[in-house]
Structure 1
Amino acid sequence: MQAVHSLEQDLYNQPQVARLREQLALALRAAAHHGLAEGVCNHFSVTLPGRPDLFLLNPRGLMWEEVQADDIVMVDDVGKRLAGRHEIEPTAMFIHAAIHRVARKACVLHTHMPHATALSLTEARALDTTLSQNAMRFHNRLVIDDQYNGFALDHGEGERIARAMNGADIVFLGNHGVVVCAERIDYAYDDLYYLERACEAEVLARSTGLKLKPADPRMAQKVAEQVESERLQSELFFQALGRKL
């Protein structure tokens, strides 16, 4: 048993995994800096290179603004903690483990960030991707899960959410919040940040009571393709956050 523990700890400390822990901690602190956190709730996770059955996760009980690389926990896809000094929250395991396992997403960011969550409470349930330029980058990239079932306290609910994603990178959870996924942490965080900015602009625009003027959906699709074709800006933004935070 001790030998197994040693192998898991060695994996946790490998340079590539240590770097992922640093990036995940940075994403959490950045989200707190941008006002996207909520108490000690919600989680960010990322699978290990070549090991989709193992992933890194922020621990239970820490505010995002205080998370450092050594606080990140390594777990398997059934919820067993393999390395790390903190406990894990059950709801994190049920949502994140399922999305990694069923939807095959590498990086999963789940938040109750204010403006995106506000739109999840409306009849539309989600962002209108034909309004602002920031919104257009998500055109045809998001889905809506309209079936709110309370806290995700079992594997079945997590798997239901994962299946509802139907391959999409972004899901608006009705009456709940959002999940943003990507193959890399910097890409996922960039999408998370601009998704909230787009939602904020829509909430502000709707609050004026003035009639909104959507763009042609074909233009929205063009903008989405432009963003996806060149993600250097996403990398530079995350590097800048590293220098700042």
Structure 2
Amino acid sequence: MATAINVQSSCSEAEWKARQRLAACYRIFAYLGWDEMIFNHITLKVPGEDDAFLINPYGLHFSEVTASTLVKIDIDGNTLDGSTYPVNKAGFTQHSLFHRELPDVHAIIHTHTTATMAVSSVEGGLQPINFYAAAIVPRLAYHKFEGITVHDDEGPRFLASLGKKRMMLLENHGPVVMGRTLEQAFLNHWVLQRACEIQMQTLAMGKPVMIGQEVIDKHMANLSQASIDPVQQGVPEFDAMVRLVDREDTSWRE
């Protein structure tokens, strides 16, 4: 197993803050049970460096990730911080594509939670049958399953499937959730996860009550009017989860 290096002294204050926020996010996902052994990825662009982003080291569980063990790589996969940890190619291939091609995307989350994978594996995907789904369905894209995401030639098809949306279900696979900030991406993933969990339970009970398009449109308009500064979207929710994580372990800060 590779050993962690102390990068705080060699990186900018902005990068160290980003490292800590991203490490906290990994711990939050572990706390919520959204981890998948040593697999899956949450990436974040390094502030002020458009061609560099942070990713989890391959081999560490989400609950083990710290600010220092995160790996800084460029969009070609080159390690920039001297880390001796490897990076999972399946994570790099997909995340580097979106970081390179979508300048508004600063954070990307890909998970294999049971609920989101289940919904991505049924015909029709996410249905407008609950409060959370009504806010997600109009913003959700879909991409046909082509196997493990390690092939660069799938990139154009990823982008075509995504279009102008910033959330996508990879059919038979799982979600890709993007955001202008890490906190925004976290909140969108949380809402998607809840929508999928509730759909699973609802369909197990019987025929669902569908929400009509007129109500969905009204719901989206109300959410838009009630939304806070986009820069602050997800921040209160994220910070609340950080406080919960800190009660158990603060080592992610190191």
Is 1:26 aligned with 2:24?
yes
1:173 matches 2:170 = yes
Q: Is the 1:136–1:223 contact (alpha carbons within 8 Å) kept by the matching residues of 2?
A: no
8 A contact 1:136–1:224 mirrored in 2: no
Corresponding residue number in structure 2 for 1:41: 39
Deviations 1:106-126 (A, max 9, x none): 1100111111110110011x3
Matched, 1:63 2:69: no
Write the distance in 2 (CA, Å) between the matches of 1:35 and 1:224. 28
Q: For structure 1, which segment, 174-183 or 203-212, has the greater mean C-alpha deviation from structure 2 after superposition?
A: 203-212
Residue in structure 2 matched with residue 214 of structure 1 by the alignment: 211
Offset at 1:159?
4.5
Identity %: 26
In 1, distance between residues paired with 2:8 and 2:23? Answer: 20
What amino acid maps onto 1:27 in structure 2?
Answer: C
Query: In structure 2, what is the equivalent of residue 198 of structure 1?
Result: 195
* Structure 1 range deviating more: 229-238 or 56-65: 229-238
Could you tell me how far apart the structure 2 residues matched to 1:60 and 1:227 are?
40
Offset, 1:54? 0.8
Identify the residue that residue 107 of structure 1 maps to in structure 2. Answer: 107
- What RMSD, in angstroms, separates the aligned Cα atoms of the two structures? 2.0
Number of the residue aligned with 2:235: 235
Tell me: CA distance 1:170–1:228, structure 2 relative to 1, closer, same or farther (3 Å). farther
How far did 1:47 drift?
1.1
Shift of 1:224: 4.4
> 3-state DSSP class of the match of 2:80?
strand
TM-score normalised by the chain length of structure 2: 0.85
Which whole-Å CA distance do the structure 2 matches of 1:33 and 1:154 have between them?
32
CA-CA distance at 1:207 after TM superposition: 0.7
Shift of 1:73: 0.5
Letter of the aligned partner of 1:136 in structure 2?
A
Superimposed CA distance per residue, residues 191-211 of structure 1 (whole angstroms, 9 cap, x where no aligned partner): 111210111011111110134
What CA distance in whole angstroms lies between the structure 2 residues aligned with 1:181 and 1:92?
Answer: 14
Shift of 1:103: 2.9
- 3-state SS of paired residue (2:24): helix
Query: What is the aligned counterpart of 2:135 among 134, 137, 145?
Result: 137
Change (3 A) 1:167 1:227: farther
State the Cα deviation string for residues 158-197 of structure 1 (Å, max 9, x = none).
4432342112110000010000000111111111112101
1:77 CA displacement? 0.5
CA distance in 1, matches of 2:77, 2:226: 35
Q: CA deviation at 1:217?
A: 2.7
Large movers: runs of 4+ above 3 Å: 9-12, 226-233
SS of equivalent residue, structure 1 residue 200: helix
CA distance in 1, matches of 2:137, 2:206: 24
Letter in 1 for 2:200: V
Supply the distance in 2 between the matched residues of 1:112 and 1:179 (Cα, whole angstroms). 10
Letter paired with 2:47: P
**How many correspondences in the alignment?**
234
> In 2, distance between residues paired with 1:72 and 1:137?
32
Report the 3-state secondary structure (helix = DSSP H, G, I; strand = E; otherwise coil) of the residue aligned with 1:86.
coil
Contiguous gaps of at least 5 residues in structure 2: 1-6, 246-254
Q: Which residue of 1 aligns with 2:49?
A: 51
Counterpart in the other structure of 1:5: none
8 A Cα contact 2:18 2:47, kept in partner:
no
Instruction: Return closer, same or farther for 1:219/1:139 CA change in 2, 3 Å cut-off.
Output: farther
Q: 1:241 to 1:123 in 2, by over 3 A?
A: same
1:187 pairs with 180, 184, 188, which one?
Answer: 184
| Change in CA separation of 1:167 and 1:202 when aligned onto 2, cut-off 3 Å | same
